[in-house]
Each structure stands twice: as C-alpha cells, then as structure tokens.
Chains A and B, each alone.
Chain A
Amino acid sequence: DAKTTQPNSMESNEEEPVHLPCNHSTISGTDYIHWYRQLPSQGPEYVIHGLTSNVNNRMASLAIAEDRKSSTLILHRATLRDAAVYYCMWRQPNNNDMRFGAGTRLTVKP
C-alpha cells in the first residue's frame, strides 16, 4: 500500500512558526501532494496542495523536497485556532482512491 509517514503529535507556541513534516517515499512523479486538517467533530478541510514547486496560500505554505519524497506544511504564525489534526496524502497511481495517513495532532499553547 502507498503510505505517508507523519509524527503523531507536535506542539507549538502561539504566534510562532510550525513545520509539519510528511514522508511519502513511494509517490509517483505525477501525483499531487495534499494537506488537510481536521478540527474536533468536523470533517477534514483542504489546506493546500502542490506538485513540485513550493506553494503558498492564505492558510499555509507547502515546501516540497526536490526528490518529492517528503514535504513540509508551514504555518507561519500559529494561532489557537490552528490546533487540529493535520493529514498529508496523495493519490495512488492509476487509481481513484485516496488514502490518508494517521495525521499529526498539533497542539498550540498560548
């Protein structure tokens, strides 16, 4: 099975940057990397996606390694509302199913 690997949990202080890593060593060259986050008792929400180049949007930045075997979600200034479980994922080649890893639970301390 295709897999992603993420740390189980991370902590950050409010207003500080957070770097959430993900390994996806079996990703193929044409699959997009996606990040989602899930607040308690809600469905996951889309955060950002990318293919090869680093990406920025209003929520976060995505840094993709040159070999594409890993990526890092960057929250530039963590707020208490950013406390959530963050998932990285990618689509399996030649398939339409999507598989999520176990995710990283981010705790933000005031």
Chain B
Amino acid sequence: SQTIHQWPATLVQPVGSPLSLECTVEGTSNPNLYWYRQAAGRGLQLLFYSVGIGQISSEVPQNLSASRPQDRQFILSSKKLLLSDSGFYLCAWTGAVGWYTQYFGPGTRLTVL
C-alpha cells in the first residue's frame, strides 16, 4: 500500500533563517506531487506541483522554492523565512493517470518568529 511521509512534524524558526521540508512517497511510482500551505483557519493554497523529476510548476510567487530530486521525493525550501510563511504545510500525491484522487501527508506546522 502507498504511504506518504512528511518531516518534521513541527518546526519553529526565526525570521530570516532557511527552511527545508521533505516529503517522500512509498508504494507507488511516477506520482504527481503537490505542496500546499494552509494559514490558520483558512483553506488550502496550492504552492507547487510536479509531474516528474526536476519538473516543478509554481502557482504563487513567493520566497519559497520546490525541488524533486528523486521520483518519490519532494522538497520545499526557502533561503530566508518571513513571518508570513507560518502555516501548516501539506504534501500530497496523485497517480499520474486516472481520476487524480489526492492522498495527503500528515503535514508540518511551521511557526516563524
């Protein structure tokens, strides 16, 4: 069966520090991968998605970036965090074909102080 992992689960970082969040998927190959951000009490904002290694589509201009160095690994990064980067970050995957049901990871709660 497929499993999606995210780490860390929680993170507290000072403004201006770098960020690296990792997401890995097991039990499937060539998934589409997604990063979402959810501000407190708000809906899901799509940040990036990837349909293959090295292929990244960005939805929102910001100081975040994403990379996909391996088929089942998706990384969200920042060189300098802003206060507004605080939120709940979710990784998700879908199959590359079919009806694109999304499966979400447990999320990382990021607090920037």
**Inter-chain contact count A-B, CB under 8 Å?**
60
Q: Name the interface residues of A28-70: CB closer than 8 Å to any CB of B.
A: 32, 34, 36, 41-46, 49, 51
A49 near B107 (CB under 8 angstroms)?
no
A86 to chain B, nearest CB (A): 11
Interfacial chain B residues near A99, Cβ < 8 Å: 46
B46 near A41 (CB under 8 angstroms)?
no
A43 near B90 (CB under 8 angstroms)?
yes
Question: Chain A residue with minimal CB distance to B34?
Answer: A98
- Rounded to whole angstroms, the CA-CA distance of A83 and B87 in the bound complex is 22
B57 near A97 (CB under 8 angstroms)?
yes
Binding site for A on B (CB under 8 A): 32, 34, 36, 42-44, 46, 49, 51, 57, 59, 88, 90, 92, 94, 99-107, 109
- Rounded to whole angstroms, the CA-CA distance of A43 and B104 in the bound complex is 6
A96 near B99 (CB under 8 angstroms)?
no
